């Protein structure tokens, strides 16, 4: 089985890039299951009904979210759809699901979305204890477990790798929009990468217009972010698993211009 995860889709131009490249990759790589982080798809922040409907047309299996989950009010009209999950360690009682179980090629796949607490500016529960609780509920119900850890700090993501080592099949990081080159398979068999990067404008500061972003750094004055224009990159990762025992066989980063 081949599982493709795609880095934070930034803006409508990132969505168009996703449409073009996803079709090619599915055909050339024989992809079976697709996870896409889309918390930035609506102009760089949040997701709308139209965005959600466009993503569903691409036959994506799971859409994960992050710190901009609630940025667009549209989210409340479809947050309970099985296609989308939001961070499981948000406050109890909020709409939506933090994890879900899907079926593919006769296998049950549990996908968990978490959000970090270091330098995120979001009040959330402890992601480490939250994921432990979820694993207790699903570990005997699934064949494969995937975790999208949406976090800022590299150390927090690596800590999660060691915390879940051997307990889940795949951990991939999102949020920083910068792809890391540390993809690995641990001795206990867990596939890991700190951040899979973004699918969005190449000549940008993590997807945003360079001039507007630089002004904030140069002057410390408030400046409205705006989406960068121009050609886009496509970032993702393909995880191949053994069909018989669901063990990770390989991890391959994707960086396409």
> Of these residues, 68, 150, 175, 177, which one is catalytic?
68
Contact between 135 and 167 under an 8 Å Cβ cutoff? The reply is yes
Q: Are 3 and 33 in contact (CB under 8 A)?
A: yes
3 in Cβ contact with 35 (< 8 Å): yes
> 212: burial class by Cβ within 10 Å (0-12, 13-18, 19+)?
middle
Is residue 175 annotated as a catalytic residue, yes or no? Answer: no
| Burial state string for 4-26 with b = 16 or more CB within 10 A and e = fewer than 16 | bbbbbbbbbbbbebbeebbeebb
* Nearest-angstrom CA–CA distance, 165 and 161: 6
Tally the C-alpha atoms within 13 A of residue 241's C-alpha that lie toward its C-beta.
26
Annotated catalytic sites, by residue?
Answer: 68
């Amino acid at each position: 089985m081949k599982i493709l995860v795609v880095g934070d889709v930034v803006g409508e131009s990132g969505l168009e890039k996703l449409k073009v490249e996803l079709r090619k990759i599915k055909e050339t790589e024989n992809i079976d299951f697709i996870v896409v982080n889309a918390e930035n798809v609506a102009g760089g922040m949040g997701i709308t009904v139209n965005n959600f409907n466009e993503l569903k047309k691409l036959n994506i299996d799971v859409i994960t979210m992050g710190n901009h989950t609630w940025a667009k009010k549209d989210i409340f009209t479809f947050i309970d759809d099985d296609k989308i999950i939001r961070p499981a360690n948000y406050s109890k009682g909020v709409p939506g699901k933090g994890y879900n179980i899907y079926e593919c090629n006769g296998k049950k796949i549990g996908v968990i979305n978490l959000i970090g607490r270091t330098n995120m500016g979001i009040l959330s529960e402890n992601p480490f204890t939250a994921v432990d609780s979820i694993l207790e509920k699903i570990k005997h119900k699934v064949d494969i477990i995937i975790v999208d850890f949406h976090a800022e700090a590299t150390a927090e993501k690596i800590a999660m790798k060691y915390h879940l080592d051997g307990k889940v099949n795949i951990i991939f990081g999102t949020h920083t929009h910068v792809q890391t080159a540390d993809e690995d398979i641990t001795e206990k068999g867990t596939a890991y990468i700190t951040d899979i990067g973004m699918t969005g404008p190449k000549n940008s500061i993590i997807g945003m217009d360079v001039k507007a972003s630089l002004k904030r750094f140069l002057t410390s004055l408030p400046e409205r972010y705006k989406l960068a224009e121009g050609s886009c990159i496509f970032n993702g990762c393909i995880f191949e698993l053994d069909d018989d025992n669901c063990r990770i066989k390989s991890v391959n980063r994707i960086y396409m211009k």
